Chains A and B, each alone.
Chain A
Amino acid sequence: MATAAAQRTARPEADGARNTAGDPAEYQRVFDAAVAADERIEPRDWMPDAYRATLVRQIAQHAHSEIIGMQPEANWITRAPSLRRKAILMAKVQDEAGHGLYLYSAAETLGTSRDELLDKLHSGRQKYSSIFNYPTLTWADVGAIGWLVDGAAITNQVPLCRCSYGPYARAMVRICKEESFHQRQGYELLLALSQGTPEQHAMAQDAVDRWWWPSLMMFGPPDDESQHSAQSMEWKIKRHSNDELRQRFVDICVPQAESLGLTLPDPDLKWNEERGHHEFGRIDWTEFWEVLKGNGPCNEQRLTQRKRAHDEGAWVREAAAAHAAKHTGATKAAGHETTGAERA
C-alpha cells in the first residue's frame, strides 16, 4: 500500500493537459503498481483504455442483467400464491431495479451515460446474462431462480466486492448485502414446495431440473475458451477463474439439494474424495452459445418488453424534464456529463 502510494508520487502532472501529457509508460507503471498493491483505481485516475473498456462492458452487462432479470420473476408477481410470497417477490424485483441503478451509476463514472448504455442494450450491442432468456413456467421457477441463479450470481459477485475498480467494488458491496435475502427466500420457497403436496414437490423438482444446467453456464465458458478471463484476472477485475467458481458453486449446492429433498439432474455428479470436490457431467456448451447468439427461448421477448417499457416511458421522462426546465432553471444546468463526487 505504502509503496504504491509512493510510486504514485512519481506521476507526471506539472502541465495543464493532465492524463495525456507526460510519459505514457510512467502512467502505466503507476497504474500497474496500484493494482499489484491491491489499491483501488478511482474514476479520475489514469487507466489503460482497454481496462476502461473492459469495465464498461462488464458493468453494463451486469446492470442490464439486473433489469432484464426483473422480467422472469415479475412474471409471477400477479400470481404469487400467498400474500407473504407476493410481498417478498415484489421486494426482490424492486431490489433488482435498484441494483441495476447502482451499477449504471458505477458505469457512468467511466464516462458513459445510462442512456448510452440503455441504447446499446436496446440495439443489441451490449449483452445481458443469458440465464434470463429462459422462461419461468411455474411458480417453483421463482424458487429455483432464487436458489440457483441468485446463488450462482452471489458466488460470482462476492469476489467482485474486491474488484480493483472502486465504484464497481462499492456497488457490489451494497448489492451483495441486499441480495443475501434473495437466495434464502428462493431456498425457503422450494423447501415449502418440496415438503408440500406431491404436485408441489413435482413442480419444485421440475424447476430444478430446468434451471440447474443454465445456472452452471452462468459462470461462463471453460477457462481455456474464455476470451477475456486472463486479462481481467491480471487487472484484478476478476479474482477467480470461471471453472474455479463453477466448482465452488456445485460443491455448495449438492448438500443444499439434499436438504431440500430434491435431486440435481446430473447422473455423473459424484464426490471425488481425492480432489475434495464434486465431479459433474459435461455442460452442453452448444446450448450456451446458441442462447448467447439470440436463439434462446425468450431472447426476443425480453428485449422487446424492455424496449417497449423504455419507449412508452419516453413521454413521461420528457414531461418531467420539460417541467424542470420551466420551474427550476438552476437544475437544468446540472448536466449529466460533467464530473461529480463519485468521479473525484
Chain B
Amino acid sequence: MSTTDWPLWEVFVRSRRGLSHTHAGSLHAPDAELALRNARDLYTRRGEGVSIWVVPAAAITASSPDEKDPFFEPAADKPYRHPTFYEIPEGVKHL
C-alpha cells in the first residue's frame, strides 16, 4: 500500500531451557528491536518462552514444495540410518 508498511518478521520461541527455538508465528515491526519487543508481548504473554529470535521474513530462503521430491525423497530409501534397521538377538542390553 505505502512505503511505510512495516515489514514482516518471523518469530521463534524457546519455550524452556533445553529445548530449541520453534516457529511461533509472525508480526509486523519497523525494525529488529521493536520486532523483538512485540514478539515478547505477543507470543510470550502467558509465559510461553524464555528466549526469542526474530528474523525478517524476507531473509528466509525456503525450499519449494515442488522441489520436495528431489530434496527429501532420496532420504527415504536409506533405512540403515535408523537403529530399527538392525536385528539384535533378544536379551542383549544397552544397545
Contacts and interface: CB of A to CB of B under 8 A. Distances in A.
A23 B30 CA distance: 42
Interface in B26-50: 26-28, 30-32, 34, 42, 45-46
Contacts of B45: 94, 98
B6 A320 contact: yes
Contact of A108 (B23, B26, B56, B63): B26
A314 B6 CA distance: 11
B66 A18 contact: yes
Contacts of A13: 66-67, 69
A116 B1 contact: yes
B10 A102 contact: no
A230 B57 CA distance: 35
A340 B60 contact: yes
Classify chain A's interface size: 35 or more
A335 B62 CA distance: 16
A328 B23 CA distance: 24
A37 interface: no
Contacts of B84: none
A25 interface: no
A270 to B, nearest CB: 41
Contacts of A101: 27, 42
B62 A344 contact: yes
Contacts of A113: 1, 5
A342 B66 contact: no
A335 B1 contact: no
A334 B58 contact: yes
A334 B35 CA distance: 12
A101 to B, nearest CB: 6
Contact of A341 (B5, B55, B68): B55
A318 B1 CA distance: 13
A282 interface: no
Contacts of A317: 4, 6, 30
Contacts of A184: none
Given A321-B6, A340-B10, A105 B64 contact: no
B5 A342 contact: no
Interface of B: 1-10, 23, 25-28, 30-32, 34, 42, 45-46, 55-60, 62-69, 73
Interface of A: 8-9, 11, 13, 18-19, 42, 44-46, 94, 98, 101-102, 105, 108, 113-116, 119, 171, 174, 178, 314, 317-318, 320-324, 327-328, 331-336, 338-344
29 contacts: A9-B73, A11-B66, A13-B67, A19-B66, A101-B42, A102-B25, A105-B26, A113-B5, A114-B28, A115-B1, A119-B1, A171-B25, A314-B4, A317-B6, A320-B30, A322-B4, A323-B30, A323-B31, A331-B7, A331-B30, A334-B7, A334-B57, A336-B7, A339-B62, A341-B10, A341-B55, A341-B57, A342-B23, A342-B57
